[in-house]
Chains A and B, each alone.
Chain A
Amino acid sequence: MAAEVLNPHLSWNLGRDVSEVLEYHFMVNALLAGSIVAIMAGLVGWLMVLRRDTFAGHTLSMMAFPGASSAALLGIPAAWGYFVFCGAGALVIGRLPRARERFPGEQSAAIGAVQALALAVGFLFVSLYGGVLGDLENLLFGTFLGVSDSQVLVLLAVAAGTLAALCVLARPLLFASVDAGVAGARGVPVRGLASAFLLLLGLAVAATSQITGVLLVFALLVTPAATAQAITARPLVSLLLTVALGLLVVWLGLGIAYFSVYPAGFFITTISFATYVFVRVLMGVLGGRSRRHPELPAPAAPPRGVIA
């Protein structure tokens, strides 16, 4: 690990420590990439939590695993594999059977089947490739060392595209997310929007997993959004709060990881989870239960009762 070679140590002078971190080009790149990803993941994740697409998001994050391992097998840059597989996964999930009266659990079961298949295929690629075991860890849990300049540029381009698309879709998407029934009746293309959102989610996940690793994407995608939505019900405020929390978590996580032998993913997940728990407990103590959640949409699943 380069961190050990550089032999960094934390002093009491925070300003000196920060400037030491910023002296290294790889840390600047890591912070840039982390910030871009935190902003994009925060915004997309906020909508994902609102839409209750969390399981789909998790499945998309797993798509990055076969993506990266197939890229390694074919000898192309990993980022291509990430984006191709996450995008394709989003299209597949968008076409899965919807929840029906007779079998409401089907959609999540189908998503689970897609996820297991993606992982199985990814594992096949890894074992075909052989010798990738050392990288498997980085693939699954992320690495912030060696983020190249071009990688930062690609992330920036993807983030800009995703955010532009989100801006265009924002109003109908929010409408469809909060009340799909009414939105559909008013002529909003609910299904098309759902598929489009899944595609954006796929892109965001693919970008995020390059920094946090496949397994820890949720630390930036879900946790900041869940924390912010627990604090305030006002959409704009909680959206901004999500982004701020995401940035804070990434900066702190990368900063601490620089001075430690443990991977950044661990610190990023731990800090974001600690924030989440702290906020939940605090809001519980303050008794703000009634304004804990923003207007959540009614669940898409029909009432239970018929199984036979």
Chain B
Amino acid sequence: MFSQEFMRNALLAGTFIALACGVSGWFVVLRGQVFAGDALSHVAFPGALAAAAAGINERVGLFAATVTVGAGIGAFGRGGISRGGARASGAIPTDDAAIGTVFTFILGLGVFFLTLFATSSGGGAGIQAAHTLFGSIFGLGAGEARLAAAIALGAVLLTVAIARPLLFASVAPEVAGARRVPTRLLGVGFVALLGVVAAEATQAVGALLLLGLLAAPAAAAHRIANSPFAGIGLAGLLAVGAMWGGLALAYAVPSLPPSTAIVALAVAAYYVTTIVT
């Protein structure tokens, strides 16, 4: 299995992408921002297609779309919280209906770009769309894999670097604010960082399945681990485990797409914890 180059590339990129998803996912679940993460993963699709339609590198579009929308959700969402008196806790984010409205529109733009791209490129559009939506981790080249691993590793390090203040700001926003922790900046910065993770992970598991790596290992870790840092570590471990297991399974069973195997294992891990604990 390891003698195949595509498999080595997939493992390299997949490991770090899964680690980034698990670690940032732990905060996503803690902050109750699963829907926001979901919306981010969906806007990756129009971003990639817009780039394809414009003839520029798909990655540029991915990152531009997710980081912009992430910062937008982070910035506007906070305003929504402070208005809803009972929701002033800061952890239950934003107006769900507003998120839904915005990302549906952006997905609608995706259809537009898909049509635009299809009329300019002939047959490639459908395949391109399927790759963006569902990932193509076995199709990564060596350079792409290394770049993906580096970006994901950077995202992990950045998340770990802001972990302490972010934890404080997530758990007790008022106290953190009083202690001069920049809660608002952390909130926006975190969702923007999540945008980077989403764009990177889109290439591995695809825009639609990203949520599985983001939410399921983190939810399992929240159930098992009692201390925050153990939880973060466990979420990362579970995500990486799901990635390795999924890749191996997909390699062994050719008709099983890797994205399906990875997500199925991650969700299975969560399901086991709901039974055990």
- Report A's interface with B, CB cutoff 8 A: 49, 52, 54-55, 57-58, 62, 97, 103-106, 108-117, 119-121, 123-124, 127-128, 133-134, 136-137, 140-141, 213, 215-219, 222-223, 225-226, 229, 261-263, 265-266, 268-270, 272-273, 276, 296, 298-299, 301, 303-305, 307-308
B38 engages A115 (CB within 8 Å)? yes
- B151 interfacial by beta-carbon distance below 8 Å: no
Query: Mind listing 12 A-B residue pairs with CB under 8 Å?
Result: A55-B96, A109-B34, A109-B215, A112-B34, A113-B271, A117-B264, A123-B134, A218-B103, A270-B108, A273-B102, A307-B30, A308-B227
| Residues A105 and B29 in contact in the complex (CB < 8 Å), given A112-B215, A273-B104 | yes
Could you say which of B66-74, B83-91, B180-188 contacts chain A? B83-91
Select B107's contact among A52, A216, A276, A298, beta carbons within 8 Å: A216
- Report B's interface with A, CB cutoff 8 A: 29-32, 34-35, 37-38, 42, 84, 86-87, 89-92, 96-105, 107-112, 114-115, 119, 126-127, 129-130, 133-134, 171-172, 206, 208-216, 218-219, 222-223, 226-228, 255-257, 259-260, 263-264, 266-267, 270-271, 274
B260 engages A304 (CB within 8 Å)? no
B133 engages A301 (CB within 8 Å)? no
B263 engages A120 (CB within 8 Å)? yes
The residues of A that contact B215 with a CB separation of less than 8 Å are 108-109, 112-113, 116
B263 engages A116 (CB within 8 Å)? yes
| Residues A137 and B97 in contact in the complex (CB < 8 Å), given A116-B211, A219-B104 | no
B119 engages A261 (CB within 8 Å)? yes
- The number of residue pairs between A and B whose CB atoms lie closer than 8 Å in the complex comes to 216
User: CA of A133 to CA of B101 in the docked complex: distance in angstroms?
Assistant: 27
Chain B proximity of A55: nearest CB distance (Å): 4
User: CA of A140 to CA of B107 in the docked complex: distance in angstroms?
Assistant: 10
Chain A proximity of B34: nearest CB distance (Å): 4
| Residues A222 and B101 in contact in the complex (CB < 8 Å), given A110-B219, A116-B212 | yes
| Residues A124 and B256 in contact in the complex (CB < 8 Å), given A105-B29, A105-B30 | yes
The residues of B that contact A57 with a CB separation of less than 8 Å are 100
Chain B proximity of A282: nearest CB distance (Å): 16
A109 engages B172 (CB within 8 Å)? no
Name B's interface SS.
helix
| Residues A266 and B211 in contact in the complex (CB < 8 Å), given A103-B223, A105-B34 | no
The residues of A that contact B86 with a CB separation of less than 8 Å are 298-299
List the 7 closest pairs (A to B, CB-CB), nearest first.
A269-B108, A116-B212, A112-B215, A273-B105, A109-B219, A54-B96, A218-B104
B32 engages A216 (CB within 8 Å)? no
B96 engages A103 (CB within 8 Å)? no
B257 engages A123 (CB within 8 Å)? yes
17 further contact pairs, Cβ within 8 A, besides A113-B271, A304-B92:
A58-B100, A106-B29, A110-B219, A110-B270, A115-B38, A119-B209, A120-B259, A120-B264, A141-B110, A218-B101, A218-B104, A223-B101, A226-B98, A262-B111, A266-B112, A269-B109, A304-B89
- Which residue in chain A gives the minimum CB-CB distance to B98? A226
| Residues A133 and B130 in contact in the complex (CB < 8 Å), given A117-B267, A226-B97, A269-B104 | yes
A219 engages B216 (CB within 8 Å)? no
The residues of A that contact B100 with a CB separation of less than 8 Å are 54, 57-58, 218, 222-223, 226
Chain A proximity of B254: nearest CB distance (Å): 10
The residues of B that contact A55 with a CB separation of less than 8 Å are 34-35, 38, 96
The residues of A that contact B102 with a CB separation of less than 8 Å are 273
User: CA of A268 to CA of B86 in the docked complex: distance in angstroms?
Assistant: 34
Chain B proximity of A268: nearest CB distance (Å): 7
User: CA of A141 to CA of B42 in the docked complex: distance in angstroms?
Assistant: 13
The residues of A that contact B266 with a CB separation of less than 8 Å are 113, 116
The residues of A that contact B101 with a CB separation of less than 8 Å are 218, 222-223, 226, 272-273, 276
The residues of B that contact A304 with a CB separation of less than 8 Å are 89-92, 171-172
Chain A proximity of B177: nearest CB distance (Å): 14
B108 engages A266 (CB within 8 Å)? yes
Select B32's contact among A108, A110, A114, A222, beta carbons within 8 Å: A108
